[in-house]
Amino acid sequence: MSIRSSALRRFAALPLLWCCAPAPVEAETTPDFFAAALCQPPYSFEHATALYNAAEKLGKADMSIMGAGIYHLPAPITRDGFTTQEVIFAGSAVGVLIEGHVAEQLAQKYQLERETNPMLGASTLGFSRRLPDADQRMKDLGLISLVAREGPAMKGRTMLVCEFDSHEDIAAMKALEKYSSGQ
């Protein structure tokens, strides 16, 4: 076999390899922010940091709502009949802003209970549910809850977040509730 025919066979196979080769895999995909809002997986500092880093790549955060960082998604996400186009990071909570005043509908869909504390006036209507013990990965530091809240600062949207509360914050909120009720 001549060198020339061997080289021709190799080059003849190139178009076949090129057209049948697998498509390149995108190195970075957008995380499922809606799933994160539903505590899937349950909140962790590592996961929240990864979500934050991904959100930072979307653009500059809107910091106009009570110090929360809000990032605009390139396209709307609809799940279970609820639509969002914004990711929110507030303290140790990560989630999404759902279009409309839908806290009650979110509560019904995700089995949330009415909150008794109006979050110092920041929330006019709130619902939450602590995750089961099996999903409390940081139980020694605090507790994780799924939360839906409405308030005037959210301008026609409802916050749906996975929230981590330290034991100290939980104790402080209980003390504030007790003080506010005059007990």
Position 3 pLDDT exceeds 60: no
Sheet with 68-79, strands from edge to edge, namely: 62-65, 68-79, 82-90, 93-99, 157-166, 142-150, 125-130, 113-114
Identify whether 1 is part of a domain.
Answer: no
Identify whether 90 is part of a domain.
Answer: yes
Confidence at 51, pLDDT banded by 50, 70, 90: very high
Identify whether 6 is part of a domain.
Answer: no
What confidence score (pLDDT) does residue 119 get?
Answer: 56
How many domains, the chain?
Answer: 1
Identify whether 163 is part of a domain.
Answer: yes
Per-residue pLDDT tens for 112-125?
999 877 555 567 89
What confidence score (pLDDT) does residue 118 get?
Answer: 59
What confidence score (pLDDT) does residue 122 get?
Answer: 65
Mean pLDDT of 20-39: 70
Position 57 pLDDT exceeds 80: yes
Mean pLDDT of 151-156: 88
Percent of the chain past pLDDT 90, that is, above it, reads: 66
Identify whether 160 is part of a domain.
Answer: yes
What confidence score (pLDDT) does residue 17 get?
Answer: 33
Identify whether 19 is part of a domain.
Answer: no
What confidence score (pLDDT) does residue 15 get?
Answer: 37
Identify whether 10 is part of a domain.
Answer: no
What confidence score (pLDDT) does residue 83 get?
Answer: 98
Per-residue pLDDT tens for 122-153?
678 999 999 999 999 999 999 999 999 998 88
pLDDT, greater one: 117 or 56: 56
Per-residue pLDDT tens for 93-105?
999 999 999 999 9
Identify whether 81 is part of a domain.
Answer: yes
The domain in which residue 81 lies consists of: 33-180
